[in-house]
């Protein structure tokens, strides 16, 4: 697999596939993947200022299980290297500005589809090539705003707020993986690869459930509800005597169990709260009554009791608490060795366990190894470095 992508959506997608055994060759431009600079923190707090040599934690968390080569694709010799690698590649992933690959003579429809008929080519862009925004640049937070995601998040006091993680980039990466796997399966039947057109905007719109359904079927727009759910109550963050907890009640049986645990069975019997629709209509008074009981409870203890009773609930945890939690450790959600630490992949296949095979590549780290793999001699590599087609840390 040839990974020409940078930043997050593409590298996240290729890391997922690399975690599960794909041979991923990451091709970086002369300045490196820009996320190498997205810190602090950096790998070495007091290390070199050249981020190609001392990358950020951001870069390290989404580029493991890849080998790295640095090419200047403005050089025809570098593009020739890409074409040679594509002779045996199954997949190419890129997220250049639309039209860039065509300018370089590497366009899918114009060149690659005919030359490499089995190639699966995944392009990730901000908005796709069509429409008023076709070809325009897009970053996660910008697309969250443009696609309406921010309009669903926040409180009346805060106003619209973007989601606290780059959810659009990551969902785009996940859908890219799905598209690649579907295309690989289709190739087994047809013998041919195909083009995968992924955009951040499309992915963002796809995760607006249930708000898109509510508008398409009832022209209902979401209200800024903070932690509350537009269709369920109680489904919100509550204060306790010790720490905030989230109570997530999804049906009538869970509601009755929650009221028993909280010591207020009379609330579940109240005719204003006997089903989901009624609890929704009367959510303000219901929230007020439940808050009075929860405010006297110990957060950790009440969550454990609720969970044991079959009611979804959880304490509000910080990132440090999550990453040191016994549950995370028991599920092996942290991968660590002497030179790497990161969150492990969540997909666990019983016969194909994901493994940490390669730590994130340093800039141009595997230039010689990759080029040797594709038949280049050491003398030819030296010539490519001298021309500037292949880059190293010590080349300008």
Q: Could you tell me if 166 and 10 are in contact, meaning their C-beta atoms sit under 8 angstroms apart?
A: no
Compute the average pLDDT of residues 111-129: 97
Instruction: Say what the pLDDT of residue 338 is.
Output: 86
- Poorest-confidence range of 21-35, 44-58, 96-110, 119-133? 44-58
Locate tokens 């009538």: which residue? 252
H or E stretch covering 374: none
Same domain? For 45 and 139 the reply is yes
Tell me whether strands 235-238 and 154-155 are parallel, antiparallel or unpaired.
unpaired
Taking the CA atoms of residue 320, residue 327, residue 166 and residue 164 in that order, the dihedral angle to the nearest 10 degrees is -50
Same domain? For 161 and 28 the reply is yes
User: Does pLDDT of 394 surpass 90?
Assistant: no
56 SS3 class: strand
Backbone angles phi, psi at 70, to 5 degrees: -110, 120
Same domain? For 168 and 275 the reply is no
Same domain? For 277 and 194 the reply is no
User: Does pLDDT of 113 surpass 70?
Assistant: yes
In a domain, 380, yes or no: yes
Locate tokens 């690399």: which residue? 18
Computed over every residue of the chain, the mean pLDDT equals 95
Same domain? For 318 and 251 the reply is yes
In a domain, 67, yes or no: yes
Pairwise CA distance, residues 18 & 354, whole Å: 9
Pairwise CA distance, residues 33 & 8, whole Å: 10
3 carries an active-site annotation: no
H or E stretch covering 36: none
Q: Is 208 exposed, middle or buried (0-12, 13-18, 19+ CB in 10 A)?
A: middle
What percentage of the chain carries pLDDT values higher than 70?
A: 100
Same domain? For 122 and 187 the reply is yes
Same domain? For 282 and 365 the reply is no
Instruction: Say what the pLDDT of residue 278 is.
Output: 95
Residue 279 belongs to domain with CATH number? 3.30.1540.10
Pairwise CA distance, residues 15 & 18, whole Å: 5
State both tokens at 183.
């295309």
Same domain? For 103 and 184 the reply is yes
Among the options 169, 252, 379, 394, which is catalytic?
A: 169
Same domain? For 142 and 283 the reply is no
| Strand spans (E) along the chain | 2-3, 25-28, 67-70, 91-94, 120-125, 154-155, 159-160, 195-199, 235-238, 245-248, 313-315, 334-337, 340-343
H or E stretch covering 361: none
Backbone angles phi, psi at 74, to 5 degrees: -75, -15
User: Does pLDDT of 197 surpass 80?
Assistant: yes
pLDDT digits (tens, 9 = 90+) for 272-290: 999 999 999 999 999 999 9
State both tokens at 65.
């299980």
Pairwise CA distance, residues 93 & 204, whole Å: 20
- Where b means 16+ CB within 10 Å and e means fewer, 148-183 reads bbbbbbbeeeeeeebbeebbbbbbbbebbbebbeeb
Q: Is 308 exposed, middle or buried (0-12, 13-18, 19+ CB in 10 A)?
A: exposed
Pick the last residue of a domain from 302, 323, 344.
Answer: 323
- Poorest-confidence range of 122-126, 296-300, 336-340? 336-340
Same domain? For 288 and 188 the reply is no
Compute the average pLDDT of residues 100-124: 97
Q: What is the pTM of this model?
A: 0.92
Pairwise CA distance, residues 376 & 374, whole Å: 6
3-state secondary structure string, 227-283? CCCCCCCCEEEECCCCCCEEEECCCHHHHHHHHHHCCCHHHHHCCCCCCHHHHHHCH
Pairwise CA distance, residues 258 & 310, whole Å: 9
Instruction: Say what the pLDDT of residue 396 is.
Output: 67
Q: Is 45 exposed, middle or buried (0-12, 13-18, 19+ CB in 10 A)?
A: exposed
Domains held by the chain: number: 2
Q: What is the DSSP letter of 390?
A: B
User: Does pLDDT of 393 surpass 90?
Assistant: no
Domain range for 266 is 235-323
Pairwise CA distance, residues 367 & 385, whole Å: 10
Q: What is the DSSP letter of 150?
A: G
User: Does pLDDT of 189 surpass 90?
Assistant: yes
């Amino acid at each position: 697999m040839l990974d020409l992508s940078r930043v997050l959506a593409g590298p996240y997608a290729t890391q997922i596939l690399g975690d599960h055994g794909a041979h991923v060759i990451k091709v970086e431009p002369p300045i490196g993947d820009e996320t190498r600079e997205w810190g602090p923190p950096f790998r070495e707090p007091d290390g070199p200022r050249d981020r190609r040599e001392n990358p950020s934690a951001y870069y390290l968390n989404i580029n493991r299980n890849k080998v790295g080569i640095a090419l200047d694709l403005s050089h025809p010799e570098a593009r020739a290297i890409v074409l040679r690698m594509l002779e045996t590649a199954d997949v190419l992933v890129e997220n250049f500005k639309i039209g860039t690959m065509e300018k370089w003579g590497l366009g899918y429809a114009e060149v690659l589809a005919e030359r490499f008929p089995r190639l699966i080519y995944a392009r990730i862009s901000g908005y796709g090539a069509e429409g008023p925004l076709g070809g325009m640049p897009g970053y996660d937070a910008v697309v969250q705003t443009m696609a309406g995601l921010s309009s669903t998040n926040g409180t009346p006091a805060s106003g619209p707020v973007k989601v606290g993680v780059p959810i659009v980039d990551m969902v785009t990466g996940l859908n890219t993986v799905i598209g690649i796997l579907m295309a690989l399966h289709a190739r087994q039947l047809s013998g041919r690869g195909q083009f995968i057109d992924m955009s951040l905007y499309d992915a963002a719109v796809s995760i607006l459930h249930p708000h898109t359904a509510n508008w398409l079927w009832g022209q209902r727009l979401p209200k800024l509800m903070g932690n509350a759910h537009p269709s369920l109550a109680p489904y919100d963050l509550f204060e306790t005597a010790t720490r905030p907890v989230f109570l997530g009640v999804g049906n009538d049986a869970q509601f009755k169990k929650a009221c028993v645990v909280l010591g207020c069975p009379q609330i579940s019997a109240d005719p204003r709260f006997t089903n989901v629709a009624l609890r929704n209509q009367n959510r303000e008074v219901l929230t007020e009554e439940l808050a009075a009981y929860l405010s006297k409870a110990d957060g950790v203890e009440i969550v454990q009791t609720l969970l044991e009773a079959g009611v979804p609930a959880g304490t509000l945890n910080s990132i440090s608490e999550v990453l040191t939690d016994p549950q995370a450790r028991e599920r092996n959600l942290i991968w660590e060795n002497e030179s790497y630490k990161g969150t492990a992949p969540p997909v666990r296949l019983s016969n194909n366990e994901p493994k940490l095979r390669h730590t994130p590549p340093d800039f141009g780290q595997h230039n010689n190894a990759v080029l040797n793999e594709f038949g280049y001699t050491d003398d030819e590599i030296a010539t490519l470095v001298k021309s500037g087609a292949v880059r190293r840390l010590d080349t300008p």
